[in-house]
Amino acid sequence: MFYIGIDVGATKLAAGLWSAEEQFIKIIESDSNYITGEALVQQICDAISSLMNFTPDKSNITMIGIGIPGRIDDATQTVFSDSLGFPEGIPLKKRLTENIPCEVIIENDANAAALGEFYYGAGLHSKNILYVSVGTGIGAGLILDGRLYTGACHLAGELGHIVINPQSEICTCGRKGCVEIIASGKAIGKKAVCLNKHIPNKKNATQDTQEVFHAYHEGDQTASIIIEDAAWSLASAIHDAVNLLDPDIVIIGGGVVKEQPKFIELIRKHLPHINIHPAQLGAKLSGLYGSVALCNLHSTKKE
Protein backbone atom coordinates (compact mmCIF):
# COMPACT_ATOMS: atom_id res chain seq x y z
CA MET A 1 0.00 0.00 0.00
CA PHE A 2 1.33 3.42 -0.98
CA TYR A 3 0.28 7.02 -0.44
CA ILE A 4 1.15 10.10 -2.42
CA GLY A 5 1.72 13.36 -0.54
CA ILE A 6 1.55 16.67 -2.39
CA ASP A 7 2.56 20.13 -1.22
CA VAL A 8 1.20 22.89 -3.46
CA GLY A 9 3.27 26.05 -2.97
CA ALA A 10 3.14 29.49 -4.54
CA THR A 11 6.36 28.85 -6.47
CA LYS A 12 6.84 25.04 -6.41
CA LEU A 13 4.79 21.87 -6.35
CA ALA A 14 6.39 18.94 -4.50
CA ALA A 15 5.04 15.39 -4.57
CA GLY A 16 6.28 12.23 -2.86
CA LEU A 17 5.52 8.51 -3.04
CA TRP A 18 5.23 7.05 0.48
CA SER A 19 5.70 3.35 1.16
CA ALA A 20 4.19 1.01 3.77
CA GLU A 21 7.65 1.15 5.44
CA GLU A 22 6.84 4.77 6.31
CA GLN A 23 9.35 6.45 4.05
CA PHE A 24 9.43 8.37 0.80
CA ILE A 25 10.56 6.24 -2.14
CA LYS A 26 10.64 9.12 -4.57
CA ILE A 27 10.13 12.90 -4.32
CA ILE A 28 9.68 15.11 -7.36
CA GLU A 29 9.37 18.88 -7.64
CA SER A 30 8.22 21.21 -10.40
CA ASP A 31 7.91 24.97 -10.76
CA SER A 32 4.36 26.20 -10.26
CA ASN A 33 2.49 26.81 -13.48
CA TYR A 34 -1.01 27.42 -12.16
CA ILE A 35 -2.35 30.07 -14.47
CA THR A 36 -5.85 28.61 -14.06
CA GLY A 37 -7.51 26.16 -11.69
CA GLU A 38 -7.51 23.57 -14.49
CA ALA A 39 -3.75 24.07 -14.95
CA LEU A 40 -3.30 23.25 -11.26
CA VAL A 41 -5.45 20.10 -11.59
CA GLN A 42 -3.34 19.08 -14.61
CA GLN A 43 -0.03 19.71 -12.82
CA ILE A 44 -1.16 17.63 -9.82
CA CYS A 45 -2.32 14.80 -12.15
CA ASP A 46 1.03 14.92 -14.00
CA ALA A 47 2.94 14.65 -10.70
CA ILE A 48 0.80 11.68 -9.64
CA SER A 49 1.32 9.95 -13.03
CA SER A 50 5.10 10.43 -12.74
CA LEU A 51 5.17 8.90 -9.24
CA MET A 52 2.99 5.97 -10.32
CA ASN A 53 5.91 4.85 -12.50
CA PHE A 54 7.87 4.08 -9.35
CA THR A 55 5.49 1.38 -8.11
CA PRO A 56 4.96 -1.91 -9.95
CA ASP A 57 1.20 -1.87 -9.36
CA LYS A 58 -0.62 1.47 -9.62
CA SER A 59 -3.59 0.06 -7.71
CA ASN A 60 -1.32 -0.09 -4.65
CA ILE A 61 -1.67 3.69 -4.36
CA THR A 62 -4.73 4.02 -2.16
CA MET A 63 -4.80 7.63 -1.06
CA ILE A 64 -3.51 11.07 -1.95
CA GLY A 65 -3.02 13.83 0.62
CA ILE A 66 -2.69 17.42 -0.52
CA GLY A 67 -1.61 20.54 1.36
CA ILE A 68 -2.60 23.76 -0.41
CA PRO A 69 -2.73 27.41 0.71
CA GLY A 70 -6.22 28.77 1.19
CA ARG A 71 -9.66 28.29 2.67
CA ILE A 72 -11.41 24.96 2.20
CA ASP A 73 -15.17 24.47 2.12
CA ASP A 74 -15.69 20.95 3.50
CA ALA A 75 -19.18 20.57 2.04
CA THR A 76 -18.01 21.03 -1.55
CA GLN A 77 -14.26 20.38 -1.03
CA THR A 78 -13.66 23.64 -2.86
CA VAL A 79 -10.39 25.47 -2.29
CA PHE A 80 -10.39 29.28 -2.31
CA SER A 81 -6.81 30.48 -2.63
CA ASP A 82 -5.92 34.17 -2.96
CA SER A 83 -2.20 33.44 -2.88
CA LEU A 84 -2.43 31.04 -5.84
CA GLY A 85 -4.75 33.38 -7.72
CA PHE A 86 -7.99 31.38 -7.33
CA PRO A 87 -10.15 33.53 -5.02
CA GLU A 88 -13.25 32.30 -6.86
CA GLY A 89 -12.52 28.70 -5.80
CA ILE A 90 -11.67 25.36 -7.44
CA PRO A 91 -13.63 22.15 -6.71
CA LEU A 92 -10.27 20.42 -6.40
CA LYS A 93 -11.33 17.10 -4.90
CA LYS A 94 -14.10 16.60 -7.46
CA ARG A 95 -11.83 17.43 -10.39
CA LEU A 96 -9.03 15.16 -9.15
CA THR A 97 -11.23 12.17 -8.38
CA GLU A 98 -12.65 12.44 -11.91
CA ASN A 99 -9.09 11.78 -13.14
CA ILE A 100 -7.52 9.58 -10.45
CA PRO A 101 -8.86 6.28 -9.05
CA CYS A 102 -7.84 7.08 -5.43
CA GLU A 103 -9.26 8.80 -2.41
CA VAL A 104 -8.12 12.45 -2.12
CA ILE A 105 -7.74 14.33 1.18
CA ILE A 106 -7.19 18.10 1.09
CA GLU A 107 -5.90 20.31 3.89
CA ASN A 108 -4.59 23.86 4.25
CA ASP A 109 -0.81 23.75 3.62
CA ALA A 110 0.27 25.23 6.98
CA ASN A 111 -2.03 22.78 8.80
CA ALA A 112 -0.49 19.90 6.84
CA ALA A 113 3.02 21.12 7.67
CA ALA A 114 2.08 21.32 11.39
CA LEU A 115 0.95 17.68 11.18
CA GLY A 116 4.22 16.75 9.47
CA GLU A 117 6.29 18.27 12.28
CA PHE A 118 3.97 16.75 14.91
CA TYR A 119 4.28 13.16 13.64
CA TYR A 120 7.78 13.16 12.14
CA GLY A 121 9.70 16.31 13.13
CA ALA A 122 10.40 18.81 15.90
CA GLY A 123 7.00 18.34 17.53
CA LEU A 124 7.27 14.58 18.02
CA HIS A 125 7.17 14.82 21.82
CA SER A 126 4.69 17.69 22.12
CA LYS A 127 0.90 17.73 22.34
CA ASN A 128 0.34 21.44 21.82
CA ILE A 129 2.15 23.01 18.89
CA LEU A 130 2.05 26.35 17.15
CA TYR A 131 3.68 25.83 13.74
CA VAL A 132 4.55 29.06 11.90
CA SER A 133 5.52 29.03 8.25
CA VAL A 134 7.51 32.00 6.96
CA GLY A 135 7.69 31.72 3.19
CA THR A 136 6.22 33.73 0.34
CA GLY A 137 3.38 34.40 2.82
CA ILE A 138 3.00 33.67 6.54
CA GLY A 139 0.80 30.80 7.67
CA ALA A 140 0.34 28.74 10.80
CA GLY A 141 -1.04 25.40 11.91
CA LEU A 142 -2.23 24.32 15.36
CA ILE A 143 -1.96 20.98 17.12
CA LEU A 144 -4.06 21.20 20.29
CA ASP A 145 -4.22 18.32 22.76
CA GLY A 146 -2.59 16.05 20.19
CA ARG A 147 -5.01 16.79 17.35
CA LEU A 148 -4.94 19.10 14.38
CA TYR A 149 -7.27 22.03 15.00
CA THR A 150 -8.51 23.31 11.63
CA GLY A 151 -11.33 25.70 12.52
CA ALA A 152 -14.46 26.00 10.38
CA CYS A 153 -12.72 26.67 7.03
CA HIS A 154 -9.26 25.16 7.70
CA LEU A 155 -7.89 28.65 8.39
CA ALA A 156 -7.31 28.40 12.15
CA GLY A 157 -4.10 30.09 13.24
CA GLU A 158 -3.80 32.49 10.29
CA LEU A 159 -1.11 34.34 12.13
CA GLY A 160 -0.06 36.27 9.01
CA HIS A 161 -3.11 38.50 9.35
CA ILE A 162 -2.51 39.71 12.90
CA VAL A 163 -2.24 43.51 12.60
CA ILE A 164 1.12 44.76 13.83
CA ASN A 165 1.31 48.28 12.42
CA PRO A 166 -1.96 49.91 11.26
CA GLN A 167 0.11 52.69 9.62
CA SER A 168 1.68 50.17 7.24
CA GLU A 169 0.55 49.05 3.76
CA ILE A 170 -2.70 47.30 2.82
CA CYS A 171 -2.54 43.51 3.00
CA THR A 172 -4.14 41.07 0.53
CA CYS A 173 -6.84 40.52 3.17
CA GLY A 174 -7.86 44.20 2.94
CA ARG A 175 -6.60 45.30 6.35
CA LYS A 176 -3.62 47.54 6.97
CA GLY A 177 -0.36 46.46 8.58
CA CYS A 178 -0.72 42.66 8.91
CA VAL A 179 2.49 40.85 9.83
CA GLU A 180 2.44 39.22 6.37
CA ILE A 181 2.84 42.61 4.68
CA ILE A 182 5.90 43.32 6.87
CA ALA A 183 7.71 40.03 7.47
CA SER A 184 6.89 37.50 4.71
CA GLY A 185 9.49 36.59 2.11
CA LYS A 186 7.49 38.53 -0.47
CA ALA A 187 7.28 41.63 1.75
CA ILE A 188 11.02 41.56 2.54
CA GLY A 189 11.84 41.02 -1.16
CA LYS A 190 9.69 43.99 -2.21
CA LYS A 191 11.75 46.24 0.05
CA ALA A 192 14.93 45.30 -1.82
CA VAL A 193 14.32 48.40 -3.99
CA CYS A 194 15.28 50.50 -0.94
CA LEU A 195 18.82 49.11 -1.03
CA ASN A 196 21.62 50.96 -2.80
CA LYS A 197 22.55 49.61 -6.24
CA HIS A 198 19.82 46.98 -6.17
CA ILE A 199 18.29 45.85 -9.44
CA PRO A 200 14.94 44.11 -8.76
CA ASN A 201 14.69 40.59 -10.16
CA LYS A 202 11.16 40.45 -11.50
CA LYS A 203 11.52 36.80 -12.55
CA ASN A 204 12.65 35.53 -9.17
CA ALA A 205 11.24 37.33 -6.13
CA THR A 206 13.05 34.89 -3.80
CA GLN A 207 16.37 36.32 -5.00
CA ASP A 208 15.24 39.80 -3.95
CA THR A 209 14.48 38.46 -0.45
CA GLN A 210 17.91 36.84 -0.27
CA GLU A 211 19.47 40.10 -1.47
CA VAL A 212 18.03 41.95 1.53
CA PHE A 213 19.31 39.28 3.93
CA HIS A 214 22.71 39.38 2.23
CA ALA A 215 22.89 43.16 2.64
CA TYR A 216 21.82 42.74 6.30
CA HIS A 217 24.69 40.30 6.93
CA GLU A 218 27.07 42.76 5.23
CA GLY A 219 26.01 45.42 7.75
CA ASP A 220 23.82 47.58 5.45
CA GLN A 221 21.79 49.96 7.64
CA THR A 222 18.64 49.98 5.48
CA ALA A 223 18.62 46.16 5.30
CA SER A 224 19.14 46.06 9.05
CA ILE A 225 15.99 48.15 9.61
CA ILE A 226 13.96 45.92 7.23
CA ILE A 227 15.10 42.61 8.77
CA GLU A 228 14.95 43.76 12.40
CA ASP A 229 11.44 45.14 11.82
CA ALA A 230 10.36 41.84 10.21
CA ALA A 231 11.78 39.81 13.13
CA TRP A 232 10.16 42.06 15.74
CA SER A 233 6.80 41.95 13.91
CA LEU A 234 6.85 38.16 13.70
CA ALA A 235 7.87 37.88 17.34
CA SER A 236 5.02 40.17 18.30
CA ALA A 237 2.43 38.08 16.39
CA ILE A 238 3.84 34.84 17.85
CA HIS A 239 3.68 36.36 21.34
CA ASP A 240 -0.04 37.15 20.88
CA ALA A 241 -0.74 33.61 19.63
CA VAL A 242 1.22 32.05 22.51
CA ASN A 243 -0.79 34.09 25.02
CA LEU A 244 -3.98 32.80 23.45
CA LEU A 245 -3.01 29.13 23.06
CA ASP A 246 -0.22 28.31 25.55
CA PRO A 247 1.58 25.78 23.30
CA ASP A 248 4.44 23.50 24.52
CA ILE A 249 6.50 24.50 21.52
CA VAL A 250 6.59 27.00 18.67
CA ILE A 251 8.06 25.53 15.48
CA ILE A 252 9.14 27.95 12.77
CA GLY A 253 9.53 26.66 9.22
CA GLY A 254 9.01 27.84 5.65
CA GLY A 255 11.28 28.85 2.79
CA VAL A 256 12.65 32.08 4.32
CA VAL A 257 13.79 30.29 7.48
CA LYS A 258 15.25 27.43 5.45
CA GLU A 259 17.40 29.87 3.48
CA GLN A 260 18.13 32.08 6.48
CA PRO A 261 18.21 29.90 9.63
CA LYS A 262 19.66 32.78 11.68
CA PHE A 263 16.39 34.69 11.19
CA ILE A 264 14.97 32.47 13.97
CA GLU A 265 17.65 33.83 16.33
CA LEU A 266 16.46 37.38 15.62
CA ILE A 267 12.86 36.36 16.40
CA ARG A 268 13.90 34.40 19.49
CA LYS A 269 15.74 37.44 20.87
CA HIS A 270 12.34 39.10 21.44
CA LEU A 271 10.79 35.96 22.97
CA PRO A 272 13.33 34.66 25.51
CA HIS A 273 10.79 32.66 27.54
CA ILE A 274 9.12 30.84 24.67
CA ASN A 275 10.23 27.37 23.53
CA ILE A 276 11.05 28.03 19.86
CA HIS A 277 12.53 25.44 17.49
CA PRO A 278 13.25 25.42 13.77
CA ALA A 279 11.22 22.98 11.67
CA GLN A 280 13.14 19.71 11.65
CA LEU A 281 11.91 18.41 8.30
CA GLY A 282 12.65 21.54 6.29
CA ALA A 283 10.48 23.85 4.20
CA LYS A 284 9.48 21.35 1.54
CA LEU A 285 9.33 18.20 3.62
CA SER A 286 7.17 19.46 6.52
CA GLY A 287 4.29 19.82 4.07
CA LEU A 288 4.96 16.53 2.28
CA TYR A 289 5.21 14.53 5.52
CA GLY A 290 2.05 16.28 6.67
CA SER A 291 0.24 15.27 3.50
CA VAL A 292 0.97 11.60 4.11
CA ALA A 293 0.08 12.04 7.79
CA LEU A 294 -3.34 13.19 6.53
CA CYS A 295 -3.68 9.89 4.66
CA ASN A 296 -2.64 7.91 7.74
CA LEU A 297 -5.15 9.75 9.92
CA HIS A 298 -7.92 9.31 7.40
CA SER A 299 -7.31 5.57 6.96
CA THR A 300 -7.17 5.05 10.75
CA LYS A 301 -10.52 6.82 11.09
CA LYS A 302 -12.09 4.34 8.69
CA GLU A 303 -10.81 1.20 10.46
Binding site for Zn ion (CB under 5 A): 161, 171, 173, 178
Residue 283 beta carbon to Zn ion: minimum distance, rounded to whole angstroms: 22
Q: Are 279 and 251 in contact (CB under 8 A)?
A: yes
Q: How far is the CB of 286 from Zn ion (least distance, A)?
A: 23
Residues 279 and 257: beta-carbon distance below 8 Å: yes
Q: Which amino acid is at 205?
A: A
**Max Cα–Cα distance, the chain, nearest Å:** 61
Whose Cβ is closer to Zn ion: residue 63's or residue 171's? Answer: 171
DSSP-derived pairing of the beta strands 2-8 and 12-18: antiparallel
Nearer to Zn ion, 161 or 191 (CB): 161
Nearest CA-CA partner of 185 in 224, 135, 139: 135
- Nearer to Zn ion by Cβ, of 171 and 238: the residue is 171
What is d(CA 283, CA 174) in angstroms, rounded to the nearest whole number?
A: 27
State in angstroms the smallest separation of the CB of 181 from Zn ion: 7
Q: What is the spatial distance between Cα 51 and Cα 122, in angstroms, rounded to a whole number?
A: 28
User: Which residue's CB is nearer to Zn ion, number 161 or number 258?
Assistant: 161
Nearer to Zn ion (CB atom), residue 173 or residue 245: 173
Minimal distance in Å, beta carbon 172 to Zn ion?
6
CB of 189 to Zn ion, least distance (A): 17
